[in-house]
Amino acid sequence: MIIIDQLTGAIVMVISAIIIGIGAYGVTSSRSLFRQLLSIEVIFNGLLVLVLSLLSFNAIIATYFGIVIISVVSAEVIVVVSILVAYMRESKSVSSEDLEEGGV
């Protein structure tokens, strides 16, 4: 029984690492700010899966950390989307190349 639990934990960690890798690839390969934002969210979700799998032995702590992480990610999404909307209204573009040229 313990071997199955360890194997399941290892599988979840590998899947989490794959999800984080997909998000990192999306951040580095995309020029669109919205795609980069979605890729950062994929990275956060991979980290959430990893943290919750590591804390799965204590359900109360895992639930607490899950709620805290989801709250932080939700607040981050609100802030970043509002910044992107303000930038898009100002420059009429959502390309990350414009940010490099503008010195932001």
Residues 6+ apart with CB under 8 A from 88: 94
Instruction: Provide CATH code, domain 2-102.
Output: 1.10.287.3510
In 3D space, the residue among 95, 73, 70, 100 whose CA is nearest the CA of residue 84 turns out to be: 95
Domain parsing of the chain, residue ranges: 2-102
- AA identity, residue 89: R
Q: What is the pLDDT of residue 103?
A: 52
**Up-side HSE of residue 96: CA atoms within 13 Å toward CB?**
11
Q: What is the pLDDT of residue 65?
A: 81
CA pseudo-torsion sign 94, 98, 100, 103: negative
Q: What is the pLDDT of residue 33?
A: 77
CA pseudo-torsion sign 27, 42, 99, 30: positive
Q: What is the pLDDT of residue 96?
A: 62
Residues of the chain whose pLDDT is less than 70? 1-4, 93-104
Q: What is the pLDDT of residue 1?
A: 45
